[in-house]
Amino acid sequence: MQEKRWVIGISLVLLLLLLPSLLFAQSTSRGRSRRSANYELTVNANVKGYQVHIDGNAIKGNKVTLKPGQHTVLVKAKGYFDWQESVNVDSDQTINATLRPIEYRLTVNSNIKGAKVYIDGNSKGTTIYTEDLKPGTYKVLVSQYGYQDYTTTVNLNQNREINANLQPAYARVQVRFSTSILNSKDKGAEGKVEIYVDGNRQNGRSFQLMPGEHTIQIISGGFSVQQSFNFNPGQNYTVEPNMGLSIQ
């Protein structure tokens, strides 16, 4: 009986001596298990063809296994602004990235209020025109009756403003005298003819007019002839007075 007690006593002593080591080893094993646990992060986005970057490194697909802790998630897609967020990974997670399409503001002004604006041949209203458009190259045309068209090509890779300076599209007029109405005996007959437009005398036989209706008057000696005419922008006109006799 005493021998059994002695054995039990030794066993208890050994157990007490080994227990701290066993507890420490078990605690260490559990700590390592917790520290080595990894979690799956799934990244979805509202667009197709997006690329996911974790902590600056691109991954294949949209799922990745990560160690616990803070991680930076970056989502890229062509034609969209980058989306970035810091995520605390402490379990299997799914996050949703909402990417905004890249658009820049195009503004078109002109020195003529209400001029018509066309983008790639499509009517967009009148100046001042403002619209947010996707990046790219656009052909801009600004048009107004009586003025030369303004055209330009813009590479929209940032907010841009166009100031269209429209120039008048003058009608070009030339007065030509037939020899049949000039006094052939007077070598200076042509120089004695006076030309008036809307009451204003013109210097020379060629001049430009703003589009619209104008009255042309030609005076020579005691004769005078005049006529009103609507001149279109950018057109060439020839005025040729004639004179005849009416015999009754």
pLDDT reported for residue 165: 95
Q: What value does the mean pLDDT take over residues 218-227?
A: 80
Considering the domain delimited by 171-239, tell me its CATH architecture.
Answer: Sandwich (2.60)
Q: What value does the mean pLDDT take over residues 93-98?
A: 95
Weakest mean pLDDT among 60-74, 82-96, 118-132, 196-210: 196-210
pLDDT reported for residue 200: 92
Which of the listed CATH numbers 2.60.40.10, 2.60.40.1120, 3.90.1140.10, 3.40.47.10 matches domain 104-164? 2.60.40.1120
Burial 30-42 (b: 16+ CB within 10 A, else e): eeeeeeeeeeebe
Common-topology check for domains 104-164 and 171-239: yes
- CATH C-level class of 39-97: mainly beta
Task: Say yes or no to pLDDT of 182 above 90.
Answer: no
pLDDT digits (tens, 9 = 90+) for 120-161: 999 999 999 999 998 899 999 999 988 999 999 999 989 999
Instruction: Indicate the pTM of the whole model.
Output: 0.55
Annotated domain spans of the chain: 39-97, 104-164, 171-239
CA–CA separation, 43 vs 93, rounded Å?
Answer: 9
Greater confidence, 20 or 105?
Answer: 105
